[in-house]
Amino acid sequence: MRPGRILWLAAVVGAAACVERATAPATCPAYCPSGSLTVVDTLLRGAVSRDSAYRGYVPAFHAGVMLAAALPGIDSRAIFQLAPLGVRVALGTDTTTSPIIGVDSLRLFLSITRRDTAAHNLTLALYRLPLGIDSTTTFADLAGAFTDSLAKTVNIDSLLARSNGKDTVTGDSVAVDTTKRVAVVMRLDSSQAPYASADSGKLALGIRVGADSLASIALTVDTIRWFVKVDSIHGSDTTLVHKLYARGVTFRSFVFDPPPAPFGSMLAVGGVPSARSILRLSVPRAILDSSQIIRGTLILVPAVPASGAPADSFKIEAHTVLADFGAKSPLVFDATRTDTALIRIGATGATDTLTIEITNLVQFWATDTLAPTTVMLRSQAEGANLAEIRFFSSATPASAPVLRLTYAPRFPFGLR
Amino acid sequence: MMRVDRRRGGPAVGLLAVLFLTAGAPVRLTAQDSQFGIRGLGTPGRWESVRARSTGGAFAPFDLTSPLMEASLADAGRLVAGAMEGASYRRSELAGTAASLRETRFPLMGLSGRVFGRLAVSGGFTTYLDRSWDVTIRDTVVLRGTPQPYTDEIASDGGVADLRLAAATRLRSWLAVGAGVHLLSGSTRVSATRRFDDSTSYQKLQQSDEVSYDGFGVSGSLLLDLTRALRLAAWARSDDRLRARVGSVVTAETDLPNMIGGGVRLAPSPSARLAAAVAWRSWSRAGPGSFNTLSWSAGMEVGAGLGPFRLGVRGGQLPFGPGATAPTEFGIAAGTGRAFAEGRGIIDFGVERLQRSGGGLEERVWTFLLGLTIRP
């Protein structure tokens, strides 16, 4: 056979052997398979048991931000201590140091990471606090200092209204970046932030927030910059040298009043120190082993709605656990095994039943039948929000948590 | 018989065989088969080579490469291996909705030859039931108080093969008999998928499993030469049950049909042959929605050597359908063949046009056939 014919035949065979899947629209039941998928939706009351709440996972001094609020029912104040400046500083490249004899001024760089844009006349009041604040410092310990040691007050809205957000008289400024973060620079003179050589220039400050309403912010202290006067002792030269030195924060926290109320028989999520709730679920084996879960929803009835400003709305995460050790159960931090729900504060229906989709978790339990069917609820940003929501637990049968499952039993394979 | 081409071409035979057996998707051929078989056991295969199918199936009882009858093996002179491929282009219309579908199959492969004196044996497989289909269904279900539209896709990919071991001999110069045993074996990969329009709330539902099938059958046939030009054929076959299994669990048992058939071939000259065949199958044993079928065919083959011309028509009923009566089919076919490599290889081409109707469904099918026969 000539090569040309072989190639021609090969082309014919190849073309004929091309395969493509084709799908036909069906007209049921005449031209449909006898078996079909069925979906069951069921409400599993009593599926949640041995549920309880625990507090203390993230305390205020471990929180990523400081919280300042002046809301009905809660008063929170940010506190922080700055790193010491020292009593002598090096002016040149050698090891010779010169004494600090005073300060010209200090610039404090803050960032407001969360605020309610509906709050008007947002004001930051800066207070000098006694040195030695730490994690055991309470709201009551600092009540006096927050009353009589006001260093400066800055109206954020007024600064934002100015050209470039800067007050050329006081030296204060604000700027809003693309992430809605408000960068605040507060200038303090030597009387507002005195340098005490006996304390090596340590400084403890506190911030209260005020507004016409919805006064609730989260903030961080980025750095401070001291402008100091240094006595140069190079030879016979006694000229004062003005230098700039930056320092960070050695401690930051916030104190608030009143302290969190006991849980009682309720479940709780959020708050500071942060609270978590653990729920043990009993999912029938017939569903987990032989069905495919397509939707799982945890239904919770709020006992006490979350309070605060709308900006304090927070997300609840539902995690499964690697092992059930109660309050100390290690969580599975896997995006595919975590479900979330948003707790809206101040929104209409804030007291409505809360539904948390836990489809990922139930599907995980279906694939790993040895995994504990336990759900831990926690705030997505623990310690970063004073708001806390409380739910009825299984101790209140009429409003107990309920599991709703939508699943498909096994397709009838092998039937004609 | 076709006159062989005596030109050299031995290596080409092997090359073509390799091409034929490796072209396209090698294992899982997924496509839509006839929709008439979706609710039944499937679409029965045709136990015909390309040569026989090009005559509408009329020559199948007399064609030793067609696994319809065993007695025709008695004419096998030496080892013969054959295989075929078919590509179908199907257009179906149902309730005003048209769909264009395509499938490719390798429905036949066999080996036969004389082993002891007059005794010839054959082994091979052919399609018994084709169970490849893929349907989509749009519907709505109320979940949590809200209507949720969804799309279901249910697909079956696979079929049941007929593994045949047959033997035949010529008892007299005018009488040949044959018998065969048939092992039915196969599997389908069945998948069911549901996609909700609201895919955020309801995740995709997907289940799949493999269903295996097995069964057994016996058959017998004879060829009777009344004259040198006139040959009669008769055959019968009985299959027991088709068992469907998922894992090791038998999920369904379906009775399979008994079949009888016959044919007549008239060869008034060496270059002209006429044939007709008829077959009856008791498919109604398979349960509701199944019907006994009677099928017929008539065809001719003229010419020999470089290019015989084949033509045939066929008609009859299909075993599965939704209505009160069996769907019907009518088809015409044509083809030719070509020998090469000193007669060690034969390539057959065929084309078939089928029209099926019943229960509101109309199917029109073009099938292109390619067969390869090798005589080493």
Cα–Cα distance list, B41 to A32, B161, B198, B295 (Å): 13, 13, 35, 18
Tokens 């995709």 correspond to B204
Q: Give the Cα separation of B204 and B206 in Å (integer).
A: 6
Which chain B residue lies closest to A37 (C-alpha atoms)?
Answer: B192
Neighbour-count burial of B228, counting CB atoms closer than 10 A to its CB (0-12 exposed, 13-18 middle, 19+ buried): exposed
- pLDDT tens readout for residues A239-254: 666 777 888 899 999 9
**Taking CA atoms, what residue in A is nearest to B286?**
A416
Q: How far is B24 from chain A (nearest CA, A)?
A: 4
DSSP-derived letter for residue B286 is G
Q: Do residues B82 and B65 touch, judged by C-beta distance below 8 A?
A: yes
Q: For strand B133-143 and strand A402-409, is the pairing parallel, antiparallel, or unpaired?
A: unpaired
Per residue in B149-184, pLDDT tens?
999 999 999 999 999 999 999 999 999 999 999 999
Query: Are the Cβ atoms of A6 and B16 closer than 8 angstroms?
Result: yes
Nearest CA in chain B to A21: B31
pLDDT band at B6 (very low <50, low <70, confident <90, very high): very low
Interval B77-106 mean pLDDT: 88
pLDDT(B17) > 60: no
Q: Domain limits of chain B?
A: 10-296+304-374
pLDDT score, position B19: 45
pLDDT of residue A100: 83
Which one, of A161, B80, A181, A180, lies nearest residue A172 by Cα? Answer: A161
Nearest to B322 among A31, A295, A357 (CB): A31
Residues of B in contact with A26 (CB under 8 A): 38, 135-137
Q: Which of B35, B41, B33, B32 is nearest to B289 (CA)?
A: B41
Does residue B82 carry a pLDDT above 50? yes
pLDDT tens digits, one per residue of B193-244: 999 999 989 999 999 999 999 999 999 999 999 999 999 999 999 999 999 9
Which one-letter amino acid corresponds to residue B169? Answer: T
In chain A, which residues have their Cβ closer than 8 Å to the Cβ of B100? 22
How does pLDDT run across A52-101, given as a tens digit for each residue?
Answer: 999 999 999 999 999 999 998 899 999 999 998 888 877 777 777 888 87
HSE, CB side, 13 Å, CA atoms: give it for residue B150: 27
pLDDT of residue A349: 61
Pairs of CB atoms within 8 A across A/B: 190
State the Cα–Cα distance between residues B165 and B122, nearest whole angstrom.
6
Q: Do B94 and A20 touch (CB under 8 A)?
A: no
ipTM of the complex model: 0.76
Residue A401 has pLDDT above 60, yes or no: yes
* Smallest CA–CA distance from A33 into chain B, residue: B39
Subunit contact B202:A294, Cβ cutoff 8 A:
yes
Mean pLDDT of the A183-193 span: 91
Partner-chain contact B30 A19, CB within 8 Å: yes
One-letter amino acid of A187:
R
* Among B87, B194, B209, beta carbon nearest to A37: B194
More confident residue, A140 or A180: A140
At residue B190, what is the residue type? V
Q: Could you read off the pLDDT of A309-327 as tens digits, one per residue? A: 788 889 999 999 999 999 9
Q: How far apart are CA B23 and CA A10, in angstroms?
A: 9
Contact A37 B205 (CB under 8 A): yes
Instruction: Confirm if A416 and B254 have CB atoms less than 8 A apart.
Output: yes
> Chain B residues with CB inside 8 Å of A23's CB?
32, 99, 134-136, 153, 155
Residue-wise DSSP of A241-261: EEEEEEE-EEEEEEEEESPPP
> Any idea where the domains of chain A sit in the sequence?
40-58+261-409, 74-257
For residue A141, pLDDT beyond 60:
yes
- Residue window 293-352, chain A: list those with CB within 8 Å of chain B: 294-295
State the Cα–Cα distance between residues B359 and B325, nearest whole angstrom: 8
Q: Is the pLDDT of residue A39 over 80?
A: yes
Nearest 5°: phi and psi at A76?
A: -125, 140
Predicted confidence at residue B34, as pLDDT, reads 81
Residue contact A416–B41, C-beta within 8 A? yes
Q: Do B97 and A19 touch (CB under 8 A)?
A: no
- pLDDT at site A66: 95
Whole-number pLDDT of residue A197: 80
Contact B171, B184 (CB under 8 A): no
Average pLDDT over residues A18-23: 48
Tell me if A36 and B154 make a contact (CB, 8 A cut-off). Answer: yes
Please indicate if any CB of chain B lies within 8 Å of the CB of A416: yes
pLDDT of B169 reads 95
Q: Across A239-243, A305-309, B63-67, which has the greatest mean pLDDT?
A: B63-67
- What pLDDT was estimated at residue A235? 53
Contact list, B356 vs chain A (CB under 8 Å): none
In this predicted structure, the answer to whether residue A393 has a pLDDT above a threshold of 80 is yes
Three-state DSSP state, A140:
helix
Asked if the C-beta of A140 comes within 8 angstroms of chain B's C-beta atoms, the answer is no
List the helix and strand counts (H, then E) for chain B. 2, 18
CA atoms within 13 A of residue B137's CA, in its CB half-sphere: 21
Cβ atoms within 10 A of the Cβ of A348, count?
A: 7
Neighboring chain B residues of A1 at a CB cutoff of 8 Å = 7, 9, 12, 16, 340-341
Q: Are B244 and A415 inside 8 Å of each other by CB?
A: yes
Q: Is the model's pLDDT at B54 over the cut of 90?
A: yes
DSSP line for B303-340:
--TT--EEEEEEEEE-SB-SSSS--EEEEEEEEEEEEE
The yes-or-no verdict on residue A386 having pLDDT over 60 is: yes
Q: Does the pLDDT of residue A278 top 60, yes or no?
A: yes
Tokens of B351: 């084309």
The answer to whether A25 contacts B94, with C-beta atoms less than 8 Å apart, is yes
Of A19, A294, A411, the CB nearest to B104: A19
Structure tokens at B115: 């082993």
What are A330-356's pLDDT values in tens digits?
998 887 778 888 888 876 666 788 999
The first and second tokens of residue A362, run together, are: 């139930």
- Scanning every residue of chain A, which has its alpha carbon at the shortest distance from the alpha carbon of B360? A30
| Mean pLDDT of all residues in A6-19 | 50
Question: pLDDT-derived band of residue A138, with 50, 70 and 90 as boundaries?
Answer: very high
Residues of chain B positioned with their CB less than 8 A from the CB of A408: 194, 205, 207
pLDDT at B269 over 60: yes
CB contact under 8 Å between B244 and A408, yes or no, is no
Domain spanning B10-296+304-374: CATH 2.40.128.690: no
What are the pLDDT digits (tens) for A120-136?
A: 999 999 999 999 899 99
Cα separation of B206 and B196, whole Å?
A: 12
- Set of chain A residues whose Cβ sits within 8 Å of the Cβ of B359: 30-31
Q: What is the dihedral of CA B369, B374, B375, B376, to 10 degrees?
A: 180
More confident residue, B254 or A197: B254
Of the pLDDT bands very low, low, confident and very high (cuts 50, 70, 90), residue A369 is confident
- Residues from chain B that touch A357, judged by Cβ atoms under 8 A, are 201
Per-residue pLDDT of B331-368, as tens digits, reads 999 999 998 888 889 999 999 999 999 988 899 999 99
Chain A residues inside the 8 Å CB shell of B249? 414
Q: Residue B267 — pLDDT band, cuts 50, 70, 90? A: very high
Contact between A293 and A301 (Cβ < 8 Å): no
The average confidence (pLDDT) of chain B is 88
Pairing between β-strand B133-143 and β-strand A24-25 as defined by DSSP bridges: parallel
Q: Which amino acid is at A305?
A: P
CATH class of A40-58+261-409: mainly beta
CA atoms within 13 A on the CB side of B259: 27
